[in-house]
Chain A
Amino acid sequence: MKNPILRRFIKRKVSVVGLVILCLFFFMAIFGPLFFPEGPLEQNLREIGQGPSLEHPCGTDYLGRDILTRIVYGARISMYISFSGVLSGCFIGIVLGVLAGYFGGWVDSVISRVIDVLLAFPGLLLAIVIVAILGNGTGNTIVAIAVFSIPSIARMVRGVVLTNKDAQYIGAAKVIGESSFKIICKHIVPNSVSQMIVNVTLNLGSAILTSSSLSFLGLGVQPPNPEWGAMLNKAKDVLRSNPWEAIFPGIAITLVVMSFSLVGDGLRDALDPKLKNTK
């Protein structure tokens, strides 16, 4: 194979497995409705709480809804939330990181303080605070995810910019009179793209965890929407009699989160071989 990045990525078998699983879930998210036209809210009161069978591979829930259908539609919600949240958060983070790293001085101090404050809210707390302020629902969950992913990427981009800023080619660009904006867009950002991709991938995994945790607490996506975390919340009450209602959505979350980190790790090794050699 010609492309060294692709070759290095394929060499890590687990990352390829992760990528295949992710593709499967993307496929489900995009084309799911074609295969499950009855929709995630279709109730069948004659088939309440049935275990897995040929007709319902993952069983049915307490309202007789097919759990596999709900998981497939849930993939849509989860992917939509995590992608729109992480991408917008990363955009803000990149802008902040570049500004802080490139201009330094008081700009850097202000932005770094903001990041410090965001990092002072441990784990899920920041997301909980945001939905506490804005109220629950899909849109606000996306905002929470976005704010949640700002600090890590802003920090990383700031670091990359700082190390590249004094490189000779930047000095050369300055000498021939290129504007700061052009230098940033043409020289600095492209130099950190590989690290950004890895960061976004890893963030997508934690976004799925965060959004499903919020929905599980009843603070994120609201029922009857088939969000995986919200499904587990409902399943909690019938755990003894219908354990499959919890097990299948739980497996779905775990698989997607794990695949994102496998792919992220694989991308890191593939895009930055230097890093691997030092390990």
Chain B
Amino acid sequence: MLKYILRRLLQLIPTLFLVSVVVFLMVRIIPGDPITLLYGVSEGAGASEETIEAMREYYGLNDPLIVQYLRWITGIFKGDLGTSIITHKTIATELTNRYQYTIILALGGTVLGSLLGVIAGIIAATFHNKAGDNIVMVISMIAVSVPSFFLAMLLMLLFCLKLRILPSLGMTSWRHAILPIVTLGLGAIGMISRTTRSSMLDVINQDYTRTAKAYGVSKTKIITTYAFKNAFIPVLTAIGLRFGSLLAGATMVETIFNIPGIGTFLVNSVNGRDYPAIQSTVLVLSFSFVVVNTLVDILYGFVDPRVKIK
């Protein structure tokens, strides 16, 4: 088991390295450079040549690319993600202050979506091709199709503006977290319930399920103990992927509910062309995504011993 975990962790290194190189280069291939874009060079209004040159020197943009990359990467290992060009605060403090909100939303959304999705998927598989199945499939089809920002607006309209039972903007109490989490959770139901359903159906059609039936094991017991346990791996992937992408994908919901998470920081940085901030935020988000996916892979090893051998 330890060997398997180590191997998966080692496989992580090249991917993370490549991602960091790509993120680094992306920001460098921008037409024009951040300093000129930030201060402007239009006649009269913009900063003088000397100021721009001084700023370029200050941010180290005149050094060779490889030097810039190494400086950036060693900085990251020391916990230094650079300084925002706009707010002049260190990006590390910005992100640590904001990460908690994003994690609350992503975790809450994943847990809620998984609970509802797995139950819905089991119902659909148990009543395959009957009314229950059809209802669940229609709901999950709608859930994957509604854009999260539209769903968020509908919920806000109903609970904040019409019924007035929940606060709409900000993140100052636990009640503020309800609607964002419900939005993300409902969005997650679609994929999780579909995965659960098809994976359960796979197992239900296996020989050993038929044998269990022939031995007179009750249907409830087959579904809850045998079928679900074996069907769980694909479901786990779906849940893990969902959590990983919610870390980044909470952006829409954060924007609507005005929550100071990572997503809003990213959108603000993009709008303000704050390249150091964009670079580090994207790196942190994609690193978390890749790491979460690896952890899910490692979990497989515990759930299903067959995985380790491959």
Q: Which residues of A contact B (CB under 8 A)?
A: 113, 116-117, 120-125, 128-129, 131-133, 205, 209, 212-213, 216-219, 229, 232, 235-236, 239-240, 243, 246-247, 250, 253-254, 257-258, 261-262, 278-279
Q: Is the CB of B285 within 8 A of A243?
A: no
Chain B min CB distance to A140 (Å): 11
8 Å CB contact of A122 from B23, B26, B285:
B285
**Alpha-carbon distance A257/B145, docked complex (angstroms):** 5
Q: Is the CB of B248 within 8 A of A246?
A: no
User: Can you list 26 residue pairs at the A/B interface with Cβ under 8 Å?
Assistant: A120-B18, A120-B289, A120-B290, A121-B289, A122-B244, A122-B285, A123-B249, A124-B249, A125-B251, A128-B266, A128-B267, A205-B145, A213-B252, A216-B147, A217-B267, A218-B271, A229-B149, A235-B153, A239-B153, A240-B157, A247-B154, A253-B150, A257-B144, A257-B147, A279-B198, A279-B201
Q: Is the CB of A132 within 8 A of B251?
A: no
Q: What does the 1/0 interface line of B251-287 toward A look like (CB < 8 Å)?
A: 1100110000000001101110000001000100110
Chain B min CB distance to A147 (Å): 11
Main secondary structure of the interface of B (DSSP, over half): helix
* CB-CB contacts below 8 Å: B20-70 with A: 22-23, 26-27, 29-30
Q: Is the CB of A217 within 8 A of B251?
A: yes
**Alpha-carbon distance A261/B147, docked complex (angstroms):** 14
Q: Is the CB of A124 within 8 A of B15?
A: no
Q: Is the CB of B249 within 8 A of A120?
A: no
How many residues in B have their beta carbons less than 8 Å from beta carbons of A?
A: 47
Q: Is the CB of B286 within 8 A of A133?
A: no
Which 7 pairs between the two chains have the least Cβ-Cβ distance? A250-B150, A258-B145, A122-B245, A122-B289, A132-B270, A257-B145, A122-B248
8 Å CB contact of A232 from B153, B266, B271:
B153
Which residues of A sit under 8 angstroms from B289, Cβ to Cβ? Answer: 120-122, 125
In the complex, what residue of chain A is closest to B30 when comparing beta carbons?
A: A133
Q: Is the CB of B286 within 8 A of A243?
A: no
Number of A-B contacts (CB under 8 A): 125
Which residues of A sit under 8 angstroms from B147, Cβ to Cβ? Answer: 209, 212-213, 216, 229, 250, 253-254, 257
Given A205-B145, A236-B256, A250 and B270 contact (CB-CB distance below 8 Å): no
- 20 further interface pairs, Cβ-Cβ under 8 Å (given A117-B22, A261-B144): A117-B19, A120-B18, A128-B267, A131-B270, A132-B278, A133-B29, A212-B147, A213-B148, A217-B255, A232-B149, A232-B150, A239-B153, A243-B157, A246-B154, A250-B150, A254-B147, A257-B144, A257-B146, A258-B142, A279-B198
Which residues of A sit under 8 angstroms from B271, Cβ to Cβ? Answer: 218-219
8 Å CB contact of B247 from A122, A209, A247, A258:
A122
